[in-house]
Structure 1
């Protein structure tokens, strides 16, 4: 293990575009479902639905948070609908599987999605049995990343000591609250939409573009 990371005993990963490449583009499928949902909900056309979707995402952290605040949308109904997608485009990466399996300490997924969807994705990635916990949007009480309350609640729920935890995330802005708590932060810069929004070296400890290769590298340093 790299000397700077030998104190880490808790590894926290965002799910989408972090544990698999952004080029997989699952969000293209989810976007279609979100658009359909908003069109029906508000009785608007595709262009207006797209505008609403993106404005809520930028203003509230997730489209769901905006829909809940403005329209009282049932989060379970919304998430069940938008996550009803074909996951065939996900390909398990043996490098990621091998590296995650070898990590010492506990491992968690911290996602603005829901557990049902996350579990399906993890199974498809070959990672379904490798995590000690999954902290999803329901567990956050619908207060999504990057709201600092969601990070503090996750740590309290799972007994995580932030100073001994590392967090990997593709949305740079979502790392700021983790760093404020004392976590080691890793930005996986692999092409996510607005992934670089708000990026600042002050709260990014490691800037990478491939999670499997990076984890393998730091693990191999343990024997050097």
Structure 2
């Protein structure tokens, strides 16, 4: 198989959840339950009704939080994020191989997440990736306009002077990659492992037209990709 050619890439942008760690890690299932709890409490709903609101908002607005804010039901986005990300991060184990592959990428490396900065820091700490990235960009930095909304990508690109033709984006969400593709980024879909997965993550056989590369193992892809330092 011909190695994927990413020798034109200088900016390496990684989603966080279900991308830097495997989709079967018990992380987003915890966050999902906390979101349901928050919606039920704040809107005075049963758990069943709260979960329906949670998922309807995710589909319509990009994230549950964005839906709550758009409908005037949450004023303090950070309070929501702190609550739903108050989880047990010890379910994540260090991944020194992934860390080595990311550190070896030539150019600048970023995390771009719809979660909070603290959540990103906690995840990277438990994975052993703390020193792998030049910076991180969370949903608060995006003015609470989450992926897949274009405005968040534009704020990210402006902050870090990201040029689209030189950028690669690693994501588990097909719809988030669609915006990146429309901007002109190289798109890499990190597919979920076989078995149960959350509603957003792509399945093992998914490879839509706007995805340049669909991979089942991030580490394997990074280890085989042709980059600037390997181009010669």
**Normalised-by-shorter TM-score class:** over 0.9
Q: Secondary structure at the match of 2:188?
A: strand
- 1:196 has 2:202 as partner: yes
Segments of 4+ in structure 1 off by > 2 A?
A: 191-197, 199-202, 219-224
Quick check: 135-144 or 66-75, which moved more? Answer: 66-75
The answer to whether 1:86 aligns with 2:88 is yes
Specify whether residues 3 and 218 from structure 1 end up closer, same or farther in structure 2 by C-alpha distance, changes over 3 A only. Answer: closer
> Contact between 1:95 and 1:216, CA under 8 Å: does it hold in 2?
no
TM-score, normalised by the number of residues in structure 1:
0.93
Q: Deviation string for 1:8-45 (max 9, x for gaps)?
A: 11100000000000000311111121121111111111
Map 1:9-158; keep pairs closer than 5 Å: 9-73=10-74, 74-158=76-160
Question: Residues 3, 31 of structure 1: CA spacing in aligned structure 2 closer, same or farther, 3 A cutoff?
Answer: closer
Cα deviation, residue 96, structure 1: 0.7
Q: Does 1:212 align with 2:219?
A: yes
1:72-110 deviations in Å (ceiling 9; x for gaps): 411011011111111111011222111011111000001
The 1:190/1:196 distance shift into structure 2, 3 A limit, reads closer
Give the drift of 1:223. 7.6
* Further displaced range: 186-195 or 119-128: 186-195
**2-structure distance, mates of 1:25, 1:145:** 22
Q: CA RMSD in A?
A: 2.1
Aligned length: 223
The structure 1 residue matched to 2:161, chosen from 159, 162, 183, is 159
Structure 2, unmatched stretches of 5+, are none
TM-score (norm: length of structure 2): 0.90
Query: How far apart are residue 155 of structure 1 and its match?
Result: 0.7
Is the contact between residue 167 and residue 178 of structure 1 (CA under 8 Å) also seen in structure 2?
Answer: yes
Aligned residues of 2:6 and 2:226 also touching (Cα < 8 A): no
Structure 2 CA distance for aligned equivalents of residues 188 and 3 of structure 1: 14
Q: Residue 68 of structure 1 aligns to a residue in which SS?
A: helix
Residues of 2 paired with 1:151 and 1:223: CA distance? Answer: 29
Alpha-carbon distance between aligned partners in 1 of 2:84 and 2:143, rounded to the nearest angstrom: 19
Residue 71 of structure 1 deviates from its aligned partner by 3.1
Q: 1:69 deviation in Å?
A: 1.2
2 CA distance for matches of 1:105 and 1:14? Answer: 17
Taking a change above 3 Å as real, the CA distance of residues 18 and 178 of structure 1, as seen in their structure-2 partners, is: same
State whether residues 110 and 136 of structure 2, in contact with CA within 8 Å, keep that contact through their aligned partners in structure 1.
yes
Q: What 5-or-longer segments of structure 1 have no aligned partner?
A: none
SS of the equivalent of 1:130 reads coil
